[in-house]
Structure 1
Amino acid sequence: MEEHKIHIKNVVCQRCIITVGDILDNLAIPYTEINLGEAILKRDLSISEKNKLGKEFEKVGFEIIQDRNERLINTIKSFLIEEVYSNDPSNEKLSSILTRELNYDYSHITHIFSESEGQSIQKFYNAIRIERVKELLNYDENSIAMIADTLGYSTPAYLSTSFKKATGFTPSEYKNMQIKDRINLDSV
């Protein structure tokens, strides 16, 4: 059976994946898999189905991506989010991972990403990591050293320095704040 992939903008978490599944189920569109930023359908969609799906996605802040470069950017973002939220992040260089996973030259990937997003892939990746650090600090279950290790920072001091540079607060100061300033991943 041939599979048909659709790329979906702003599908950045498990709840987003569940929402996409609910929408596909409600529209009786058969699928085999839903991942960050994409759904694999069992068949091609009619124009009417695409329009209905697009309208339903729009209601919850999603969008079907048609443009090739936009699909690549969405794939990069989804991959980076998965990497940051992985239980076993790679210690390999980001450029090597993306080149291997996406089968494109890194200079091509970074050029398209930077031109479209107004920031480098590394800057986006660092912003996602900082949001993950904030989340883990809010849970108050892990030490800074454990968080640094989990997210692939070389040392707790480097995590603290990066966090302060990005937020203006040390991790300890952030933990003690009454109001947390977390950002939705689709807004990074």
Structure 2
Amino acid sequence: MLMDHARDVLLMVDVQEKLAPVMDDPRRVLVNGQRLMKGAALVGVPVLVSEQYPKGLGPTMIDLRELAEPDAFLEKTTFSCAGEPSILRRLEQLGRPGVVIAGIEAHVCVTQTALDLHRMGYATRVVRDAVSSRQPESQAAALERLARAGVDLVTVEMVLFEWLGDARHPAFKEMQKLIK
């Protein structure tokens, strides 16, 4: 099934000040996270941003924080976003069956979130070029595991173009700028 701007939610997982800098290639996660968040805004996809224990790990990185609405930020202590009742409530309130996931760490919070949401019946996609772990091996293992479990692995460009659906979409030219 294709991703659809009318059916999806973008979930940015734990891209926080004390966690992001120690990831493998954190700039890739930030740049591609920005592309996803800006693209979501262009086509009306709601954005949720989880923060793992922000008192200890700090807030979401400013690169992403400035792109989200204040009520988009949801604190958690569970590794899986699906283990946090406030996040599940927000997903249910949005009433969208698809969740596109990006963030860190790929092998912990991203994987646990994706597996749980997939099990719960959400059309779950993990954006492979917008996730990271401290060790590349951990990220590779996570992506392999997710694929075996039936979670779709996608790229930023796949997400953005599927959300558009047609080159005649009013946001097409703005979306192209995000990719170039």
TM-score, L = length of structure 1: 0.31
Is the strand fraction higher in 1 or 2? 2
TM-score, L = length of structure 2: 0.32
